[in-house]
Amino acid sequence: MSAAVLVRPAGDGGGPVVAVRPGAHVLRDVPAGPSLAAHRRRTPPPPKLPLADLVARVREVDVRGRGGAGFPFATKLEAAAGAGRRREVVVNLSEGEPVSFKDAALALTRPHLVLDGAVLVARALGSRVVHVVLPGDRPGVAAAVRRAVDERGREDRRTRWRVHRAADRFVAGQAHAVVELMSGRPNLPVTAWQPVALHGYRGRPTLLSNAETFAHVALLAGAGAVAYAGAGTDEEPGTRLLTLDGDGERPTVTEVPHGTPWEDLLTDDALDGPVLVGGYHGTWAAPGALRGLTVSRTAMAAAGLSLGAGVVLPLSPGDCPVHRTAAIVAYLAGQSARRCGPCRHGLPALADAVRATDRGLDVSARAGELAGLVTGRGACAHPDGTARTVTSMLAAYGDEVAAHAGGECGYRRSSLVARSVGRGR
């Protein structure tokens, strides 16, 4: 395995150093450097593909969005193309998720692969403008992408680039929030009746996706379906990026083929402890639940789990999933747009209920009730994702919730016992 490349995404002196492990597809040749000259030494300029050809290629290997929802990219392309008006293309690098570093890793190591994908899509849709949304919480990433965009201007005079800076907020990267930002309004979600692929920026069809998705489109167009499918499984060709330990001292971004066993990625201690899969809007895996499973959308769904945003958070020994969920939900409640009832009232009430559960009050039933009430009723999916984290904790760690109601925490008690044994007591 190639040595990891260390990058610092949050700017000079701030944020953690992230280890980026070179991979088979989008993280191939990472040590070569992020410049356009280095990129062109290994990758020719993107070809001009007719829309029908591009749609056929991404459909053949079922390229799906890597931002969390997993929506088929071919369907999004066809929707934007079929609207019959001028189209917009948006590369969304505003991850929002504080424990995800996938798009940041691409921006700092292979930004031009991402921009190649955007150019391919823009040409296929007949658009000469590509919008790039930068993260508001990681100035180092924003600066790196600006440098890459400046380099593109010297290579391709036909494509115009417009750069936007997102707010430092969890919901800033939501599709309609991005359109609001581009339109000069507050970078917050709004109630909308159509997806942005049909009615987005200035009312035009808007193809919006995250950096990793555009990188996969560029690879597929350049290498072809056969080479692309050389990694992964027959059902799920290709690879995906994962952020491991995104809240630790040394987060790691790794590229893994679909079908990779979780045993190859996590230690035995991590597999046998609590793991939050999918990020802050993800699902809790019970101890041992990932054993025998693979990095696969369908396999995870069959087990009641989701890869979501590709964030994997194993808890440290002694770290309690109930306590961690309380902290996450309190954070998410404070990050909402506060523009609809579920965000203004439901999420703060849910945060209070989970916090009370963590402190020993027997209100877990109330937490479950509130999670059900906010689901499907928000202007965006933020309440749904927050509720999913809570309901998965209640389901996977019911015994621990009951222990808290009795005034105890099994995880903290086990940690104290382990430390006492280690001291010879």
SS3 (DSSP) at 225:
helix
CA angle, residues 55, 132, 198, in degrees to nearest 5: 45
The secondary structure element, H or E, covering residue 42 is helix 36-42
Give pLDDT tens digits for 297-338: 999 999 999 898 899 999 988 899 999 999 999 999 999 988
Nearest to 387 by CA among 360, 361, 369: 369
SS3 (DSSP) at 222:
helix
Query: What pLDDT sits at residue 412?
Result: 74
Cα four-point dihedral sign 387, 393, 399, 405 = negative
Please, which pLDDT band fits residue 85 given cuts at 50, 70 and 90? confident
Average pLDDT over residues 276-291: 95
Look at residue 265 and tell me whether its pLDDT is greater than 70. Answer: yes
Both structure tokens of 107: 């921006």
Superfamily per CATH, domain 5-228: NADH-ubiquinone oxidoreductase 51kDa subunit (3.40.50.11540)
Match 């921006």 to its residue by tokens. Answer: 107
Fold for the domain defined by 321-418: de novo design (two linked rop proteins) (1.20.1440)
pTM of the predicted model as reported, rounded to 2 decimal places:
0.92
Give pLDDT tens digits for 109-142: 999 999 999 999 999 999 999 999 999 989 999 9
What is the amino acid identity at position 193? W
Beta bridge partners of 162: 131
Nearest to 130 by CA among 109, 110, 153, 103: 153
Both structure tokens of 24: 């088979």
Query: What pLDDT sits at residue 423?
Result: 37
* 5-228 matches 321-418 in fold: no
Average pLDDT over residues 216-234: 84
Nearest to 98 by CA among 266, 308, 276, 332: 332
Give pLDDT tens digits for 53-84: 999 998 888 888 666 667 788 899 999 988 66
Q: Is there a contact between 377 and 339 (Cβ–Cβ < 8 Å)?
A: no
Look at residue 212 and tell me whether its pLDDT is greater than 70. Answer: yes
Within 8 A by CB and 6+ apart from 105, the residues are 7, 9, 18, 20, 27, 241, 253
Query: What pLDDT sits at residue 421?
Result: 30
Give pLDDT tens digits for 172-195: 999 999 999 999 999 999 988 899
Return phi, psi of residue 258, to 5°. Answer: -60, 140
Question: Cα separation of 188 and 179, whole Å?
Answer: 9
Give pLDDT tens digits for 385-425: 999 999 999 999 999 999 999 889 888 765 433 333 333 43
Give pLDDT tens digits for 145-177: 999 999 998 788 889 999 999 999 999 999 999
Q: What are the boundaries of each domain within the chain?
A: 5-228, 259-314, 321-418
Neighbouring CB atoms inside 10 A of 403's CB total 18
Give pLDDT tens digits for 17-59: 899 999 888 998 898 899 999 999 989 998 889 999 999 998 8
Query: What pLDDT sits at residue 226?
Result: 76
SS3 (DSSP) at 16:
coil
CA distances (Å), origin 267, targets 1, 42, 292? 17, 35, 14
Neighbouring CB atoms inside 10 A of 146's CB total 16
CA 125 to the chain's CA centroid: 25
Query: What pLDDT sits at residue 416?
Result: 36
Question: Cα separation of 273 and 286, whole Å?
Answer: 7
Please, which pLDDT band fits residue 359 given cuts at 50, 70 and 90? very high
